[in-house]
Amino acid sequence: MSATLVEKASAKINLTLRVIGRRTDGYHELESLVVFADIADTLTLRTSQDGLEITGPFASKTGSAADNLVFKAVAAVRGRIADVKAGHFLLEKNVPVAAGLGGGSADAAAALRLIARTNGLALDDPRLFSAAHAVGADVPVCLDPRPRIMRGIGELLSDPLDLPALPAVLVNPGVPLATRDVFGKFRSGKHGSDIAGVPHDVDALIEFLEQHGNDLTSAASACEPVIAEVLAALRGLSGIKLARMSGSGPTCFALFGSREEAAAAAQRLVKEHNNWWVKPTTLGSAPGINS
């Protein structure tokens, strides 16, 4: 009988995102305060014949299984560690695709954690981090999903940050948005100041976030004007503390003072915009991870 292991692949939220500049190789240097939602894909590994099966509400949006980042993660590890065992993966896709939530990157990171468990590898094995970096810019921060500051092109990570749990609502208007298209519209130079001294108190953290925005919002809204509509709807909700786009969009989030306020706001949005994906959530460390 084959062994079965399960990992959650939590949605990644960029509370802030600063574009520092473009490198000579075409990539952009970024700085971002990253947290994770309690909304996640589920990745199951059965240590039998290699394969990938995709189910869940967003399975049809993931494209070819052969091109999935889960397989790319397996290949990246095998290119660095001889005789690594993998197996058959079952991916339950609950997080929207091309949504600014790092869903594919979180799936790849979950695959790396499952491979580590199967092969008795430590999560901080540098070969795992190297594989994560090779798969994609957001995969390293998803490997150990706790609040951090991410810099460079995703390879420079701070130590985990002790942040409070943040009641929130996530909204995706149902339009995919490719990161390359957003950067194609991005024209601004360096914005804002370096992230330093992130507060641990909720009110102080909200005030801090108001001073550090998302530099890609205008470019993403130029690609998909519905993003501005989502942000306006969020800012009109009762009890809201902050509304912002995550990553390169189009998903946006709103922070609230309580889970009850977030749940009530989500119910209102569902009634008013039944074609949007709306989920109340809590932001912080991924479930099961101790910060």
Residues in the chain: 291
CA distance 10 to 41: 6
Enclosing H/E stretch for 262? helix 259-272
Phi/psi at 79 (5° precision): -75, -10
Mind telling me the catalytic residues? 12, 138
Cis before 250? omega within 30? yes
CB-neighbour burial class of residue 202 (10 A; exposed 0-12, middle 13-18, buried 19+): middle
CA distance 34 to 160: 10
Q: Which amino acid is at 241?
A: K
Closest CA to 162 of 285, 252, 276: 285
